Amino acid sequence: MADRYLEVVEPEDNVATALRDVEAGETVTVAVGDEQREIEVVDDVQFGHKLAVTDLSDGDTIRKYGKSIGNATEDIPAGTWVHVHNVESNYGRGDLAADGEGGGDAAASAGGD
């Protein structure tokens, strides 16, 4: 039976959102569309963070809620924590923008002033 605390919204999503803390070494079952995938968790994944539900290659599009949220910056095996350390966001990085390193301005990106 699929773990109800690992949420995949759309069948094309390649990450699940952890609705509980998940520990490295756990084996979890994730519902992806009509199939269930058994995944060995590689990294600890905190509540609200993402877990790869399939192997991803450097440059692959990361999909959550049926939408592209960024691209992998390295190979990401299934069961790995997916976050800013291995994904370049489509939305810019606020942590880098605050340091003057880039990441874009949301208003400017949307065409605002």
DSSP the chain: ---TTEE--STT--EEEESS-B-TT-EEEEEETTEEEEEE--S-B-TT-EEESS-B-TTPEEEETTEEEEEESS-B-TT-EESTTTEEETT--HHHHHTTS----HHHHTT--
pLDDT of 113: 38
- Which sequence spans correspond to the domains of the chain? 6-101
Mind listing the pLDDT tens digit for each residue in 48-103? 999 999 999 999 999 999 999 999 999 999 999 999 999 999 876 666 656 655 44
Best CATH choice for the domain 6-101 from the list 3.20.19.10, 3.20.80.10, 2.30.130.110, 3.40.50.2300? 2.30.130.110
Does the model's pTM come out above 0.85?
Answer: no
